Amino acid sequence: MAKYAAKAQKKVERSMHEMHEGKLKSGRSNKKVTNPKQAIAIGLSEARAEGAKVPEKAAAKKKTTAKKAAPKKAAAKKAAPKKAAAKKATAKKAAPKKAAAKKSPGRKATAKKATAKKATAKKATAKKAAPKRKSAARKKSAATA
């Protein structure tokens, strides 16, 4: 049994011909198509739109199989990667500090810039933490009142 209909073959042939002539344009950007694989994809999508027998896109196949198996695993592992990423980020920030101390005095300016960046990062985290404290204080005052 044939995978593709004759109509699909005609569409692909036509799009390839247009590409070689330099007349085939892509959909959104309206740029000239120069890649033969892209020309084939355009021909197949046109055939799909007209209802010809064409297998579904590979990306669509992957999504349907991934959706069936993924939800159970993804829900269980959501919290763990964030903690690991935070640990890695702090380890990376600590390493340049030690390296800057060992280097020659000519590089003190870069060390100062790095410490300034860290100070601004600390301020940003302090600002994020501050609203939490206020909300906790409001809860306490609401509970006592």
pLDDT of residue 135: 64
What pTM value is reported for the model?
A: 0.41
Q: Determine the Cα–Cα distance for residues 27 and 23; give it in Å rounded to an integer.
A: 13
Domains in the chain: how many in total?
2
pLDDT of residue 37: 95
Closest residue by Cα to residue 7 from 39, 50, 36: 50
DSSP 8-class letter at 31: P
Quick one: average pLDDT of 65-69?
63
Same-domain status, 99 and 65: no
Checking if the pLDDT of 44 tops 80, the result is yes
Closest residue by Cα to residue 110 from 100, 119, 120: 100
Same-domain status, 55 and 10: yes
Quote the percentage of the chain above a pLDDT of 70: 46
Same-domain status, 54 and 15: yes
Contact at 8 Å (CB) between 11 and 47? yes
Average pLDDT score, the chain: 73
Last-in-domain residue among 69, 103, 121:
69
Greater confidence (81 vs 20) lies with 20
Domain that holds residue 11: 6-69
Checking if the pLDDT of 14 tops 80, the result is yes
Same-domain status, 60 and 102: no
Same-domain status, 62 and 11: yes
Contact at 8 Å (CB) between 133 and 122? no
